[in-house]
Amino acid sequence: MAIEVMHEVGTDLAGQRPKDVRQFLGQKFDFIITVCDRAKDSCPTFPGDHEQIHWSLPDPAEAPAEDQKRVFRAAREGVQTRIQLFIEAHNKRPDDA
């Protein structure tokens, strides 16, 4: 269903797959963003200097079957909005304030 709702906005997820967060252990990150409460609670600790951010979004997989497509769309829109705000906030130069 994720592939279908992303296709609605022109994003092709064909060939993509979920990745286990453990494959990224040992890598350096400036930001670590979790998007569902279960991930926030179970996300491993990444050492180093980074900013931890949590965007609480409903997990479409936990929605009743008849609501899943709506919840997938809401999650898609929520992530898109937060990414746009994140980029705007982090692209400001000190003299833009």
* pLDDT for position 8: 96
Q: What letters, b where the CB count within 10 A reaches 16 and e where it falls short, cover 6-36?
A: beeeeeeeeeeeeeeeeeeeeeeeeebbbbb
Whole-number Å distance between alpha carbons of 77 and 73: 6
* pTM reported for the whole predicted model: 0.78
Give, for all 97 residues of the chain, the pLDDT tens digit.
Answer: 889 999 999 999 988 988 887 888 888 889 988 887 765 566 667 778 889 888 888 888 889 999 999 999 999 999 999 999 999 998 876 665 5
* pLDDT for position 18: 86
* pLDDT for position 43: 66
The three-class DSSP label of residue 53 is strand
